[in-house]
Amino acid sequence: MTIRIGVVGTGAIGRDHARRINDVLTGARITGLSDVNLQSAKAVKSDVAPDAEIFAVGEELIASDTVDAVLVTSWGGAHEQYVLAAIAAGKPCFCEKPLATTAEGAKRIVDAEVAHGKRLVQVGFMRRYDAGYRMLKKVVDSEIGQPLIVHAAHRNPSVPEQYVTPMAIHDTLIHEIDVFRWLLDDDYVSAQVVFPRASSHTHAKLKDPQIVLLETAKGIRIDVEVFVNCQYGYDIQCQVVGEEGIASLPEPMSVVMRKEAQLGQAILTDWKDRFVASYDVELQDFIAAAVKGTASGPTSWDGYVAAISSDACVAAQEAPGRIVPISLPARPALYA
Ligand code: NAI
Ligand code: ISE
């Protein structure tokens, strides 16, 4: 069976996901495209999805009987309305992170899915599908004793002009927020942010770099450096200190070269390349579940918890050094 997928939001990642569904993955075709920028949808149709119909309004795409499942890849602030429309239509929906830009918005999605009674939503936390993180989790679960500390870094070479301080949390750190819950099988109880000396490559509305300190319910301490104008590359680091050993996220595979008296390895510069394989695996997983009329992988609950945790980190940014508590409501049985 081939499921018919509609994409709402045809910018960088919407285009890339449409390409992978049509050209790389099996079991699905892109039949609908929608974007507030019509030219963007038209360009994606002509470049990667020639059979797709273009819809002027996202909700019309979601309601169409030529669309069985939906990908929401619009800007974060325009996720909630489309995910709620997909749930109302009873259609499986893959939503890029963040599930919603506020915890209240994510909660509305959880409530709607719980009322529907069956999972329909997968959140695009692709690191859970990354081969390196999966290897790391296996080692953390079985080889190094209880995890005690995590040292991590999320570095982008640069970010667009409109990227401002809270986006370091909602847009960037949110990947760590989710993946460490999964890696450590734990939840956060507090967050703190401290700002070191600012890079000269940043601007007035973006404090960069920042250090986020998280504490989990089991007492694990996590420090994450978020540095989004680091200049040199796209670099994701994670080291777990356990009571019997230390485990580090593998570096992406890269040829080691000796040339002109140098020994070196290239560092990637684009997030699209760093997690290219995991985007393929997460969307193939989405297709496999959507064929059965449901969803698997990261849940709306994970998206909601990430939103609550992110909000606490943003509150911590606003009061540097202050420890902001994080408390979670009870988890509905649907997400047990
Ligand atoms: P982008 O700016 O390239 O594309 C977003 C598109 O959404 C634009 O074409 C815009 O016109 C469209 N849009 C905005 N409001 C809309 C609305 N109300 N209805 C329909 N379309 C609308 O942004 P990008 O980088 O593609 O990011 C999109 C989403 O994907 C964001 O939520 C971002 O956080 C997430 N993302 C996830 C990544 C990952 O590693 N999982 C990587 C990059 C982005
Ligand atoms: C972007 O939206 C992503 O999701 C990337 O993975 C992240 O590294 C970047 O900082 C975000 O802006």
* Residue 3 reports pLDDT greater than 90: yes
Q: Considering only CA atoms, which residue is closest to atom 2 of ligand 1?
A: 11
Q: Considering only CA atoms, which residue is closest to atom 11 of ligand 2?
A: 172
Q: How far is the CA of 186 from the centre of ligand 2 (A)?
A: 23
Taking the CA of 153 as reference, the closest ligand is 2
The pLDDT of 294-310, averaged and rounded, is: 98
| Distance (Å, whole) CA 185 – CA 44 | 39
| Distance (Å, whole) CA 213 – CA 77 | 26
Ligand 2 atom closest to Cα of residue 228:
10
- For the stretch 159-175, pLDDT in tens is 999 999 999 999 999 99
Q: How far is the CA of 153 from the centre of ligand 2 (A)?
A: 13
Question: ∠ at Cα 186 (183, 187), nearest 5°?
Answer: 120
327 Cβ below 6 A of ligand 1: no
* Residue 204 reports pLDDT greater than 90: yes
40 Cβ below 6 A of ligand 1: yes
**Among 115, 101, 94, CA closest to 5:** 94
Residues in a beta bridge with 95 = 72, 123
The pLDDT of 91-111, averaged and rounded, is: 97
Q: Considering only CA atoms, which residue is closest to atom 6 of ligand 2?
A: 271
- For the stretch 119-137, pLDDT in tens is 999 999 999 999 999 999 9
| Distance (Å, whole) CA 152 – CA 308 | 21
Among 271, 272, 273, name the best residue to mutate to test ligand 2's pocket (greatest count of ligand atoms within 8 A of Cβ).
Answer: 271
Q: Which helix (H) or strand (E) holds 252?
A: none
Residues in a beta bridge with 153 = 225, 237
**Among 59, 83, 61, CA closest to 72:** 83
171 Cβ below 6 A of ligand 2: yes
The pLDDT of 296-318, averaged and rounded, is: 98
Among 17, 171, 272, 273, name the best residue to mutate to test ligand 2's pocket (greatest count of ligand atoms within 8 A of Cβ).
Answer: 171
Task: Please give the structure tokens belonging to residue 140.
Answer: 């953390």
* pTM to 2 decimal places: 0.97
- Cβ atoms within 10 Å of 275's Cβ, excluding its own: 23
- For the stretch 237-255, pLDDT in tens is 999 999 999 999 999 999 9
74 Cβ below 6 A of ligand 1: yes
pLDDT of residue 310: 97
SS3 letters for 86-142? HHHHCCCEEECCCCCCCHHHHHHHHHHHHHHCCCCEEECCHHHHCHHHHHHHHHHHH
**Among 322, 133, 127, 125, CA closest to 212:** 322
Residue pair 273/173 in contact (Cβ under 8 Å)? The answer is: no
Taking the CA of 167 as reference, the closest ligand is 2
pLDDT band at 1 (very low <50, low <70, confident <90, very high): confident
35 Cβ below 6 A of ligand 2: no
The values of phi and psi at residue 94, to 5°, are -100, 120
* Residue 192 reports pLDDT greater than 90: yes
Ligand 2 atom closest to Cα of residue 174:
4
37 Cβ below 6 A of ligand 1: yes
Q: Considering only CA atoms, which residue is closest to atom 13 of ligand 1?
A: 74
Torsion of CA 315, 177, 93, 138, to 10 degrees: -170
| Distance (Å, whole) CA 239 – CA 150 | 6
Q: How far is the CA of 235 from the centre of ligand 1 (A)?
A: 21
Residue pair 39/301 in contact (Cβ under 8 Å)? The answer is: no
Q: How far is the CA of 264 from the centre of ligand 1 (A)?
A: 35
pLDDT band at 90 (very low <50, low <70, confident <90, very high): very high
Ligand 1 atom closest to Cα of residue 81:
18
Q: Considering only CA atoms, which residue is closest to atom 4 of ligand 1?
A: 11
Amino acid residing at 73: T
